[in-house]
Structure 1
């Protein structure tokens, strides 16, 4: 009798979780580089880690970078008593990815927010996770309550 293979198979969710983490790492570097060069950060990630950035992670990095003004405006308008510039680069990167997904991706908002909270807990702090939850949750509540024009809310072009 052959042994059964007990290795876990990769699920799309696991792949996207990893992609979000990798995208956060790249966007963190973009945020800290004086030039803010996306391609330099993508190249550095691949060189440091020895593997190409997964497709979804690359899509997130390029999408966030290409829509940064809109994403930052959405986040800034929901940061009560704070500004995006006062947050740490990790928190900014996490929230930018999540807001980009909320605006453009066909991913349930609960998944987007949960993933962002977990990234914040792991790479920032429990307080950062609460802030991420509050900001993203406010956006979703406003969208669901009809306070945001759905076409405008999802229009990043």
Structure 2
């Protein structure tokens, strides 16, 4: 089991959602181009309107997800339903990395929010049925890493 850090901060849900949106895209770009994270962050901050984006959370995703990518992939890799990491679509991979990061490292974010936001992004950016796959993988991971929270919600 992976130890979680609690980085609770005040936030605006819409700004957080936009940070997730851009963070997933930045991590997709990092995976595909292997460009410097600093360069990718600078490009996004220059090319997109970040007035209503949680910039601190965007920064966290862009830098913290890659710093623990092996740990995250090990955590969700066991739930890939017979697929290998290489068989994942790059969008699915970016979404699973972000969702796993939030489930494992950001226990201040409710697991239902993590899964719902990941599914929403999969519907927007992923293949036709990828949202179902993202939901299934993250749900299984949540049952492992957020068991206490899930059990409390079911009472």
Interval of TM-score (by shorter of Structure 1 and Structure 2): 0.7 to 0.9
Equivalent-residue separation in structure 1 for 2:138 and 2:109 (angstroms)? 14
Partner of 1:116: 118
Partner of 1:12: 12
State which structure, 1 or 2, has the greater radius of gyration over its C-alpha atoms: 1
Q: What CA deviation, in whole Å up to 9, does each residue of 1:66-112 have, x standing for no partner?
A: 11110111121110211122111111111111100101111000000
Equivalent-residue separation in structure 1 for 2:50 and 2:81 (angstroms)? 39
Distance 1:130 1:67, change over 3 A: same
Partner of 2:31: 31
Cα offset, 1:64, TM superposition? 0.3
Greater relative contact order (Cα < 8 A, sep 6+): 2
Partner of 1:46: 45
Cα offset, 1:51, TM superposition? 4.6
Structure 2 unaligned residues grouped into runs of 5+:
1-10, 149-155
Q: Where in structure 2 are the equivalents of 1:2-151 lying within 5 Å? A: 12-33=12-33, 35-49=34-48, 51=50, 54-105=55-106, 106-143=108-145
RMSD across aligned positions (CA): 2.0
Cα offset, 1:44, TM superposition? 2.1
Cα offset, 1:62, TM superposition? 1.1
Q: TM-score, normalised by structure 2?
A: 0.79
Q: TM-score, normalised by structure 1?
A: 0.78
